[in-house]
């Protein structure tokens, strides 16, 4: 499709930027390090990890050969943070009207894939790890099969839980 995202119809209350961030000059150099393997495609993908866990399936993170050494030190049972690229999502929407909200909401208050930089985050548990093949089997994923992976980070209890409110 040759239409720019701003040409596509949206939900009432949604606001699009006057430009498409995907068509602007590069200001970051990212390299995909692998792919997510899921049973999901357009039309059947869960909206979040809770729903993905409820629906079940086989979920794998496949790391490309040059990056497999970076898995050293990870273990089955460990939680990890995955950053992945939802590149098929619109990038020009800055206010969305999700069905689970009463009205329009700014994209930075949502986990929606449509955002200026379509980076998604998932905190998942490693169920199995094959270092040689570069494969992590994880408890859930809420992304289309083949989604590009940007990074894997360990989830650390001492760092990743916000402090209690005063």
Instruction: Examine residue 87 and state whether it is found in any structural domain, yes or no.
Output: yes
Instruction: Examine residue 163 and state whether it is found in any structural domain, yes or no.
Output: no
Instruction: Examine residue 2 and state whether it is found in any structural domain, yes or no.
Output: no
- Of 126, 123, 152, nearest in space to 63 by CA: 152
pLDDT the model gives residue 1: 32
| pLDDT (average), residues 156-164 | 89
How many domains are there within the chain? 1
Instruction: Examine residue 24 and state whether it is found in any structural domain, yes or no.
Output: no
pLDDT the model gives residue 5: 47
Instruction: Examine residue 91 and state whether it is found in any structural domain, yes or no.
Output: yes
Instruction: Examine residue 39 and state whether it is found in any structural domain, yes or no.
Output: yes
Q: What is the pLDDT of residues 46-95, one digit of tens each?
A: 999 999 999 999 999 999 999 999 999 999 999 999 999 998 888 999 99
The pLDDT-based confidence of 166 (bands split at 50, 70, 90) is low
pLDDT the model gives residue 165: 76
Instruction: Write down the mean pLDDT value for the chain.
Output: 89
pLDDT the model gives residue 8: 60
Instruction: Examine residue 3 and state whether it is found in any structural domain, yes or no.
Output: no
Residue found under tokens 């995202």: 5
Please check the confidence at residue 29 and state whether its pLDDT lies above 90.
no
CATH code for position 44:
2.40.30.70
- Of 81, 111, 79, nearest in space to 96 by CA: 111
| pLDDT (average), residues 10-32 | 80
Please check the confidence at residue 6 and state whether its pLDDT lies above 70.
no
Cα-Cα-Cα-Cα dihedral of 154, 158, 162, 166, to 10°? Answer: 180
Among 105-114, 118-127, 144-153, name the one with the lowest average pLDDT.
Answer: 105-114
pLDDT the model gives residue 9: 60
Which residue has better confidence, 84 or 111?
A: 84
Instruction: Examine residue 161 and state whether it is found in any structural domain, yes or no.
Output: no
Domain holding 94, by residue range, is: 10-19+29-156
Taking the model in full, what pTM does it have? 0.85
Helix (H) or strand (E) run with residue 106 in it:
strand 105-106
């Amino acid at each position: 499709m040759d239409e720019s995202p701003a040409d596509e119809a949206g939900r009432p209350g949604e606001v699009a930027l006057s430009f498409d961030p995907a068509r602007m000059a590069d200001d970051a150099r990212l390299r995909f390090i692998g792919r997510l393997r899921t049973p999901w495609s357009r039309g059947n993908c869960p909206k979040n990890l809770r729903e993905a866990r409820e629906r079940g399936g086989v979920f794998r993170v496949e790391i490309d050969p040059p990056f497999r050494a970076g898995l050293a030190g990870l273990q089955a049972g460990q939680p990890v943070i995955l950053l992945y690229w939802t590149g098929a999502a619109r990038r020009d929407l800055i206010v969305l009207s999700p069905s689970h909200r009463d009205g329009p909401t700014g994209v930075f208050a949502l986990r929606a894939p449509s955002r200026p930089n379509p980076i998604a985050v998932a905190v998942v548990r490693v169920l199995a790890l094959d270092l040689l093949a570069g494969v992590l089997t994880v408890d859930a994923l809420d992304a289309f099969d083949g989604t590009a992976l940007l990074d894997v980070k360990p989830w650390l209890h001492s760092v990743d839980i916000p402090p209690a409110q005063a």
